[in-house]
Amino acid sequence: MMINFWNERYREKVFLYGKEPNEFLAQQLQKIQTGKILFPCEEEGRNAVYTTKLGWDTFAFDLSKEGFKKTKLLAKHNQVELNYQIADAIMVDYPTESFDSVALIFAHFPPTIRQSIHQKIINWLNLGGILILEAFNQLQLNNASGGPTDLNRLYTEEIIKEDFKPLKTELLVSSQLILNEGKYHQGKADIIRYVGIKDY
């Protein structure tokens, strides 16, 4: 089960993906006003702690209780509090139109549940709300810098376009970069970056 995998991994003492925010997320947040933001599958809290320090009203969830423990440690170290719950993306829910932004940072779902989760995320966005996404694309199978080893959990631009077609696409690009995010995101990586706005 995935929950056992992640609990075991997050028991390691080090912060597996570092303590600094995702670079693409940090870049995009510079362009928008602070508000209410959600981080699904937020692992050890690096991005949620960062946005809280910036003044965002931050919410996050992850299915791993060990990830939650690490998040509490990081939040305490940074003297911030955030709304973080242990929850599965399939089951968790929030009111419609309750977030100004949702950030999906390396949150990969199998095809059987991916579209329904992505649809929930669209529903959670306010009018004018912004989705920020960074994920591995299918070329990542050729690299050793992290991410799913199952092709079906990796994304293409076509998958992102289809899943988020109700949103207005502001950015959709595939590229190769060098990751430097802790122990498990190191080296050459093939990624997709997406920004979409709910304008209806």
Q: Which pLDDT score is estimated for 7?
A: 76
Residues 6+ apart with CB under 8 A from 32: 100, 101, 130
Conformation bin of residue 48: beta by default, left when phi > 0, alpha when psi is -120 to 50: alpha
Could you list the beta-strand ranges (E) of 87-167.
99-105, 125-136
Encoding tokens for residue 90? 């399939």
pLDDT in tens, the chain (200 residues): 677 887 788 788 888 899 999 999 999 999 999 999 999 999 999 999 999 999 999 999 999 999 999 999 999 999 999 999 999 999 999 999 999 999 999 999 999 999 999 999 999 999 999 999 999 999 999 999 999 999 999 999 999 999 999 999 999 999 999 999 999 999 999 999 999 999 98
Q: Which CATH number fits domain 2-197: 3.40.50.150, 3.30.70.270, 3.30.930.10, 3.10.20.600?
A: 3.40.50.150
pTM for the predicted model, two decimal places: 0.95
Cα–Cα distance measured from residue 197 to residue 30, given in angstroms and rounded to the nearest whole number: 16
> Cα(62)–Cα(70) distance, rounded to whole angstroms?
12
Per-residue model confidence (pLDDT) at position 1: 61
Between CA 82 and CA 48 the distance in angstroms is 7
Q: Quote the CA–CA distance of 108 and 43 in Å, as a whole number.
A: 12
Q: What residue spans define the domains of the chain?
A: 2-197
Closest C-alpha among 24, 195, 200 to residue 102: 195
